[in-house]
């Protein structure tokens, strides 16, 4: 369906059309089709849709129409609060929303607030009046502690990537934030999954919400080719270089487990003559933003990232995603490969599977319906031996930046592994 048929006012619809002129943005996606009319009507929404489905526009466009008819926000009193899990996603949401708002009848002021940078400029912006505040949980509460903003003016409250927020341990921060907000407001929860934690949170906060659940398209219908290559762990960097150069890949996003690995692999690739940079949570915000801008502009060829990038980076026409390390969870596999094959463009996702991680790969394939068979590449046939029974190494607890805390299986993770094995043995 066309955006023009979703209930926008003519002047607002014309402003949106002008803002995206020249882009293929006339047809609403499934999540936009379901959520936009309900948001315009003032309903709460609980929506689940996969990465790249257009969730940001699904809530940003109707909220912008509502704000156009209001007076500009007073100092420190934003009318819309969007909470996101990462700095990168905050910047992405702010940029997209600002683009949509560019030609609206009145100027809409926005601010992306996150840690890793000075707080004073963000406090100053709030004092000048902000209509939409997009923030990470920690910096949001820092601003509240500095009395730079009041939550009492919030009319629209959005949790973007709600499942990721809870995965990263922000439950306490969300609880504090919710206690500061008015009881009368519109609540919009957007998530990739409906986990038990999300369901509990929604039951407590949402009033008669519209539930939207957009199932992921079957893998064969996605414009993403998926490959899985079995290789010895110590030869992954050499194999990546071979694939990158022989297949004339222009750019690639490479996922690793830990911050240390991001630095190490990027260094090895630079030594091999490739333009590669790491991206992880210990970098300064300025450096992280520079790396993202450099890959977008073609100044570098490869970004080696921890999972913080899986939901917060949007690189147009990214041809390849490589799982140098397999993700800890099957769901994160989908988020990672969703960085390629966007906007109808073809994409390629390559996963390196070691002898030790073959069981984990089988679990990912089962849960995410991945049809890629393990393949070997000439000259890189694996020689490692499988570990003794009970000694298999599996990904364990994540740190807040997507890294793996340890490799040896804890008692808790042994129980998880047993459950995973049982799941594999059940008939599909």
Domains and CATH numbers, the chain: 3-213 (3.40.50.300), 221-425 (3.40.50.300)
Q: Please name the helix (run of DSSP H) or strand (run of DSSP E) that holds residue 186, with its range, or none.
A: strand 186-191
Looking at the chain, how many residues does it have? 428
* Rounded Cα–Cα distance for residues 275 and 255 (Å): 16
* Rounded Cα–Cα distance for residues 213 and 190 (Å): 10
Q: Answer for the pair 319, 298: CB distance below 8 angstroms, yes or no.
A: no
Strand partners, 187: 157
Residue 10 token pair = 């003519």
Dihedral of the alpha carbons of 374, 277, 311, 55, in degrees to the nearest 10: -120
pTM of the complete model: 0.65
Q: Out of 11-20, 238-247, 264-273, which region has the weakest mean confidence (pLDDT)?
A: 11-20
pLDDT, position 395: 47
* Rounded Cα–Cα distance for residues 310 and 223 (Å): 18
Spatial CA neighbour of 75 closest among 12, 124, 25, 120: 124
- Average per-residue pLDDT in the chain? 85
Share of the chain above pLDDT 70, in %: 84
* Rounded Cα–Cα distance for residues 353 and 393 (Å): 12
DSSP state of 398: B
Question: In angstroms, how far apart are the furthest CA atoms of the chain?
Answer: 68
Angle at 29 between CA 23 and CA 31, to 5 degrees: 140
* pLDDT, tens digit, 9 for 90 and up, residues 110-155: 999 998 889 999 999 999 999 999 999 999 999 999 999 999 999 9
Reported confidence tier of residue 51, pLDDT bands at 50, 70, 90: low
Residue 364 token pair = 């990912």
* pLDDT, tens digit, 9 for 90 and up, residues 167-208: 777 888 999 999 999 989 999 999 877 878 888 888 888 999
Look-up of token digits 């969703």: 338
Q: Answer for the pair 303, 309: CB distance below 8 angstroms, yes or no.
A: yes
Spatial CA neighbour of 306 closest among 405, 216, 236: 405
At residue 411, does pLDDT exceed 70? no
Spatial CA neighbour of 143 closest among 132, 157, 133: 133
Reported confidence tier of residue 422, pLDDT bands at 50, 70, 90: very low
Cβ atoms < 10 Å from Cβ of 39: 27
Beta strands (DSSP E) in 222-269 are 224-230, 252-255
* Rounded Cα–Cα distance for residues 298 and 294 (Å): 6
* Rounded Cα–Cα distance for residues 258 and 53 (Å): 28
Reported confidence tier of residue 297, pLDDT bands at 50, 70, 90: confident
* pLDDT, tens digit, 9 for 90 and up, residues 301-327: 999 999 865 556 777 778 999 999 999
Residue 352 phi, psi (nearest 5): -90, 125
* Rounded Cα–Cα distance for residues 150 and 54 (Å): 30
Reported confidence tier of residue 5, pLDDT bands at 50, 70, 90: confident
pLDDT, position 310: 55
């Amino acid at each position: 369906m066309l955006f023009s048929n979703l209930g926008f006012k003519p002047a607002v619809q014309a402003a949106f059309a002008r803002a995206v002129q020249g882009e293929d943005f006339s047809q609403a996606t499934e999540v936009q089709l379901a959520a936009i009319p309900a948001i315009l009507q003032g309903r709460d929404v609980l929506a689940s849709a996969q990465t790249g489905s257009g969730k940001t526009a699904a809530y940003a466009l109707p909220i912008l129409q509502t704000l156009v008819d209001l007076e500009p926000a007073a100092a420190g009193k934003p009318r819309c609060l969007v909470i996101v899990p990462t700095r990168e996603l905050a910047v992405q949401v702010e940029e997209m929303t600002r683009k949509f708002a560019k030609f609206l009848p009145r100027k809409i002021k926005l601010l992306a607030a996150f840690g890793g940078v000075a707080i004073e400029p963000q406090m100053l912006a709030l004092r000048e009046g902000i209509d939409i505040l997009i923030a990470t949980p920690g910096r949001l509460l820092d601003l509240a502690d500095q009395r730079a903003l009041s939550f009492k003016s919030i009319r629209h409250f959005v949790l973007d990537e709600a499942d990721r927020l809870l995965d990263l341990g922000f439950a306490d921060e969300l609880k504090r934030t919710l206690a500061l907000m008015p009881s009368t407001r519109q609540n919009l929860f957007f998530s990739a999954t409906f986990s038990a934690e999300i369901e509990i949170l929604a039951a407590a906060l949402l009033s008669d919400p519209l539930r939207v659940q957009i199932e992921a398209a079957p893998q064969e219908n996605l414009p993403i080719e998926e490959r899985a290559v079995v290789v010895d762990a110590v030869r992954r960097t050499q194999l990546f270089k071979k694939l990158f150069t022989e297949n004339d890949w222009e750019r690639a996003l490479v996922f690793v487990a830990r911050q240390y690995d991001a630095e190490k692999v990027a260094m090895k690739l630079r030594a091999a003559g490739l333009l590669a940079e790491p991206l992880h949570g210990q970098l300064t915000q300025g450096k992280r933003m520079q790396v993202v801008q450099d890959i977008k502009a073609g100044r570098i060829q490869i970004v080696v990232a921890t999972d913080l990038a899986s939901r917060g980076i949007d690189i147009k026409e990214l041809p390849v995603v490589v799982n140098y390390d397999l993700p800890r969870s099957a769901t994160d596999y989908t988020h990672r490969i969703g960085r390629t094959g966007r906007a109808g463009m073809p994409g390629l996702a390559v996963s390196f599977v070691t002898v030790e991680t073959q069981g984990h790969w089988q679990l990912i394939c089962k849960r995410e319906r991945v049809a890629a068979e393990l393949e070997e590449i000439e000259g890189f046939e694996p020689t490692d031996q499988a570990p003794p029974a009970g000694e298999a190494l599996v990904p364990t607890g994540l740190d807040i930046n997507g890294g793996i805390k340890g490799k040896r299986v804890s008692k808790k993770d042994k129980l998880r592994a047993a459950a995973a094995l049982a799941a594999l043995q059940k008939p599909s």
